[in-house]
Amino acid sequence: MANPAPTLLWGGRFTGAIDDLMFKFNESLTFDKALCKADVQGSIAFAKGLNQLHLLTDDELNQIVSGLQKVAQEWEEGKFVIDTKSDEDIHTANERRLGELIGSQIAGKLHTGRSRNEQIATDMRLWARDQLAGLAESMKGVLQTCATQAKSSLPILMPGYTHLQRAQPVRFSHWLLGHANFIQGDLQRLEGVQERVSCCPLGVGALAGNPFGIDRDFLARELGFSSVHQNSLAAVADRDFVVEILQWASLLMVHLSRLSEDLILFSTAEFGFVRVADAYSTGSSLMPQKKNPDSLELIRGKAGRVMGQASGFLSTLKSLPTSYNKDLQESVEPLLDCVKTVSQCLTIIQGVLGSLHIFGDKMKAALTADMLATDVADYLVLKGVPFRQTHHIAGAIVRKAEEKEVSIAELSLEDLKQISPLFEADVVEVFDFERSVEKRSTTGGTSRSSVLAQIEAIEALVGKSS
């Protein structure tokens, strides 16, 4: 079976039928119908531009706008009926339905000087702009949850890690805000992506420009774009904004994945620092005692999905010749899926963090005196010993404690004096985790004041333009 090509919008020069499989292979409505609202927006703006040129009368403009609004309503209410023999994409579907509503004579004027090449570029940018604004709000929600949790857990101390080995004591709030700091950077980077997405390609035709002198600045203003794409050849082929979104999302997902990895580890019995709420956990089909942090594992897994989309689409772009090529249809599905995935992951991670049960006693129990070895070195620095020497002295103290099978805090003053005569009775004050944490009071440190300053910075960022 085959579809008669002449019935398709582009079929005027064709006499033969198009193969059914080719029609299905070529169509994109199954996924680009997500752009239905944006396509109507762009068409209404274009109709207004044609009216300014007197290519549409006021009455024709009103009929087109009214018809397009009905089309949008049908999509929104789930009443739009797709013609499987002619609707290749969202553009042809909307134009076909508009013709049914207001008549093909008037509806047919809407495409004057316009190409689907510019339509899809415009639709994708309009859709992406709205979606990125939503993602920015979701990220602010995650950051606010981090700030709220950091405030409520401010007194809790835990081991800080490097190489996944216990290193120095830090506040749990500081650990959480460390992850929030990466998300802050993602939010700031998103602003640049949003700026470049907001560039209007409408009015450039198929590749060479509009022959009727349509006012592209008007189209940009009408659609809320901040700039106009400056080259018609580039405008229809430009999917750099898709690449940027995919790459930006990849880095965000890396950060969400690393946060998830920490929480997965911390929720194990071996750590026991946190417990993920039942709402974000699943069980085992065999072992009734199991409670799995599948929400976090899925975020960790979906990071690879998003990163793969970025790499895959770059491979599609790398050898394309000038202007529009149908390969660019491959930009739509990765973009749609990426945005959906990131949106879901942000919602889930906010829920996980907001409902997280924190076991401060377990974290405190994991603190060991050897984590204060650097504080011992700092003690001697204040007595005038060069740090390189104090580092070796502190290392000798750790070795001595291992030999005696005690913690460094349990060594006697005599033991310490054997290593360095500069140790005095006040060295006992060093072996205090709270004191160690509070000494780190510079900007970005783990002291109470420094952590509170970090919280204030996050809240200021979240409150900005909210």
Provide the annotated active-site residues.
163, 284
Q: How far apart are the first and last CA of the chain?
A: 55
274-275 and 357-358 strand pairing: antiparallel
Task: List Cβ neighbours of 58 (8 Å cut-off, separation of 6 or more).
Answer: 51
Contact 318, 243 (CB under 8 A): no
DSSP state of 382: T
Instruction: Give the integer Cα–Cα distance in Å for 394 and 406.
Output: 15
Alpha helix segments (H runs only) across 103-206? 104-107, 116-152, 172-197
Contact 135, 342 (CB under 8 A): yes
* 51 torsion bin: left (phi>0), alpha (psi -120 to 50), beta (else): alpha
What 3-state DSSP class applies to 228? strand
Instruction: Give the integer Cα–Cα distance in Å for 353 and 144.
Output: 10
If we measure between CA atoms, which residue out of 416, 318, 311, 421 comes closest to residue 373? Answer: 416
DSSP state of 282: B
Side-chain-side CA neighbours of 280 within 13 Å: the count stands at 26
